[in-house]
């Protein structure tokens, strides 16, 4: 009987092959943190990525995926890791089209959009990596404004 799935085996599956966040998804759902999923955890993954999952459940999981350091906030360092993860699938030429300055600009924009109390002046004064963070509540507010979030946070079976 199948008791667990190794993370790398799950990544090979057709549904996750081209998903740059496959390893992070395994990290989020694996209670042991050992890159394996029990069968129940495996079902939880597919449940939240199904068309029947609620928007709230999808938002909770998306937040956990983007909160790389698991501190309950999405901060500039987490956003930098999100960008790096997304660019891993791009070929070198495409990945290089986004300069470090452009990455910083995108991160600053996301932080100021998510945390309105942070200004660009604050980010320049204290360093872009040290200012601002997005709480779950702020992330939820942002995601409710994304009309196609539910349809994009989906894996067909």
pLDDT, one tens digit per residue, over 96-114 is 677 888 888 888 888 887 7
E strands, the chain, are: 4-6, 36-38, 73-74, 134-135
Integer Cα distance of 119 and 109 in angstroms: 10
What pLDDT is recorded for position 131?
Answer: 63
Exposure pattern of 2-14 as b/e (b: 16+ CB <10 Å)? eebbebeebbeee
What pLDDT is recorded for position 12?
Answer: 39
What pLDDT is recorded for position 78?
Answer: 94
What pLDDT is recorded for position 94?
Answer: 63
User: Which residue stretches of the chain have pLDDT < 50?
Assistant: 1-2, 8, 11-12
Angle CA 81–40–157, to nearest 5: 75
């Amino acid at each position: 009987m199948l008791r667990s799935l190794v993370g790398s085996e799950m990544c090979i599956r057709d549904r996750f092959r081209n998903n740059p966040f496959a390893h992070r998804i395994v990290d989020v759902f694996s209670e042991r943190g050992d890159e394996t999923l029990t069968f129940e955890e495996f079902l939880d993954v597919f449940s939240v990525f199904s068309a029947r999952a609620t928007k709230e459940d999808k938002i909770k999981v998306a937040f956990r995926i983007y909160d790389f350091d698991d501190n309950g906030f999405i901060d500039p360092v987490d956003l930098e890791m999100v960008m790096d993860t997304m660019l891993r699938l791009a070929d070198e030429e495409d990945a290089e089209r986004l300069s470090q300055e452009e990455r910083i600009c995108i991160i600053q924009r996301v932080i100021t959009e998510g945390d309105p109390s942070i200004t660009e002046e604050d980010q320049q004064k204290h360093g872009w990596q040290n200012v601002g963070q997005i709480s779950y509540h702020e992330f939820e507010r942002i995601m409710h404004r994304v009309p196609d979030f539910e349809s994009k946070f989906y894996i067909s079976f």
